[in-house]
Amino acid sequence: MAGYLQSQGVEVIATGLADGKDGRPPASAGQVEPLDVRDRAQVNRVIEIHHPDVVYHFAGQAFLVPSWEDPAGTMTTNLFGTLNLLEALRRDSPRTRFAFAGSGTEYGDAEIIPTPETSPLKPTSPYASSKAAADLLCYQYFRSFELPVFRYRIFGTTGPGKRGDSVNDFASQIAAVERGGVPGVVRVGNLDKSRDVTDVRDAIRAMVQVVERGEPGEAYNIGSGVPRKVSETLDRLISMARVPVTAEKDTTRLRMVDDPVHLADIGRLHRLGWKPEIPFDRTLAETLDHWRAQS
C-alpha cells in the first residue's frame, strides 16, 4: 500500500512496532512512526500530530493459527486496537477517512456462494471473530459519530513479497528444493478447500478505489470472484519448478476449523469501476521468482 500510494504522489506515513522484525515497515515505506495500536497514548499522539487525510488500518494479529493459541491477545490487538484508533479520530480528526482491513473469514462457512456483503457474519475462529467485532465497531462509529469509515472484507491475497499465505508458503518451499538441485518435497495442509485469491497489487488498487469512490459506512468485499482449488494452485506452482517436486501432507499444518469455500461476490467493487489486471499465472510465476532470488 505504501509503495502504491507513493507512486501516485501521495505523502505516506507508515507505522509499525518499534521492535520485532514482523511489525516493522520496510525502509521503502517512507516516513515511519513507531506505533503499537494497543497503546492508547501512542495512538492519540500520532493522530494529534499528523491529522491524516486517510488512515489505512492494517495493524493487527493477522493469522488464524496464532489466534487459537492466544485468542485474548488477538482480540486485544484487533478489536481494542481498532477502538483506540476510532476514538482518537472521533476526538481529534473526525473528517479523516478510515479504512478498516476486515476479512472474508468473517462470513465463516457462508450459506450463499459467492458471498455478498449482506450475508450474516458467522466467524469460525478467534481471528475471524476479532475481525467481525471490529467491523461492527467501525459501523457503529459511522452511525453514532458520522466518521467516514470504509470496511474491507478481504478474501485471499498473494503476490511476490507477501508472507503467510499458501501460495508464498508453497513457492518458498519449491525455491528451497530448487536450490538443493535434487528432487524434493513440499509439505502441505488441507488441499481440498477452494479460495478466492487476488494478486495483492490488484487488491491494493481496489482498496484505494473504495476510499476514493465508495460509500462511507458500507462494507466492500475485496476479492477476485474466482474460486481456486488449493490443490490446483499447488499443481500449477509445481509445474513451474526446475526440479521434480512432490507434495506430502503435514498434519501440523491442518487448521482446527477450515471452511471449505471462500468466494466473494464483488459486485459492489465492480460498480466502483475496479477489475483485476494481473493474470493469476503471472502472480504465481513472479511469486516463485521472488523466492528464487532469496539467498
Mean pLDDT over 260-284 rounds to 96
- Give the orientation angle of helix 230-239 with respect to helix 166-180, to 10 degrees: 30
- Run of H or E including 14: strand 13-16
Mean pLDDT over 256-271 rounds to 88
What's residue 108's pLDDT? 93
pLDDT bin (cut points 50, 70, 90) of residue 295 is low
pLDDT tens-digit map of 122-145: 999 999 999 999 999 999 999 999
Over 90: is that where the pLDDT of 239 sits?
yes
Distance from C-alpha of 224 to C-alpha of 263, rounded to nearest angstrom: 8
What's residue 21's pLDDT? 56
What's residue 80's pLDDT? 98
What's residue 28's pLDDT? 65
pLDDT tens-digit map of 211-228: 999 999 999 999 999 999
CATH number of 2-157+198-222, picked from 3.90.550.40, 2.60.120.620, 3.40.50.720, 1.20.1740.10: 3.40.50.720
Calculate the dihedral angle through the C-alpha atoms of 80, 64, 115, 188, rounding to the nearest 10 degrees.
Answer: 160
DSSP secondary structure, 128-185, as one string: HHHHHHHHHHHHHHHHHH---EEEEEE-EEE-TT--SSHHHHHHHHHHHHHHHTS-EE
Q: Which three cell numbers stand for residue 47?
A: 493522530
pLDDT tens-digit map of 101-120: 999 999 999 999 999 999 99
Q: Which of 18-32, 134-148, 159-173 has the lowest mean pLDDT?
A: 18-32
User: Which of 77, 33, 24, 27 minimizes the C-alpha distance to 55?
Assistant: 33
Mean pLDDT over 53-64 rounds to 95
User: Which of 32, 30, 12, 62 minimizes the C-alpha distance to 162?
Assistant: 62
* Strand partners for 198: 157
Mean pLDDT over 156-167 rounds to 92
Distance from C-alpha of 179 to C-alpha of 177, rounded to nearest angstrom: 5
Mean pLDDT over 18-26 rounds to 65
What's residue 128's pLDDT? 97
Q: Are strands 97-103 and 149-154 parallel, antiparallel or unpaired?
A: parallel
CATH number of 158-194+226-262+278-292: 3.90.25.10
Degrees, nearest 5: CA angle 112-58-41: 130
Distance from C-alpha of 168 to C-alpha of 227, rounded to nearest angstrom: 18
Over 90: is that where the pLDDT of 98 sits?
yes
Q: Which of 7-21, 72-86, 153-167 has the lowest mean pLDDT?
A: 7-21
What's residue 261's pLDDT? 86
Indicate where the chain has its CATH 3.90.25.10 domain(s): 158-194+226-262+278-292
User: Does residue 248 contact residue 188 with C-beta atoms inside 8 Å?
Assistant: yes
Distance from C-alpha of 6 to C-alpha of 72, rounded to nearest angstrom: 35
pTM: 0.93
Indicate where the chain has its CATH 3.40.50.720 domain(s): 2-157+198-222
pLDDT, averaged across the chain: 94
Q: Which three cell numbers stand for residue 234?
A: 499447488
CA atoms within 13 Å, Cβ hemisphere of 18: 5
Distance from C-alpha of 126 to C-alpha of 166, rounded to nearest angstrom: 20
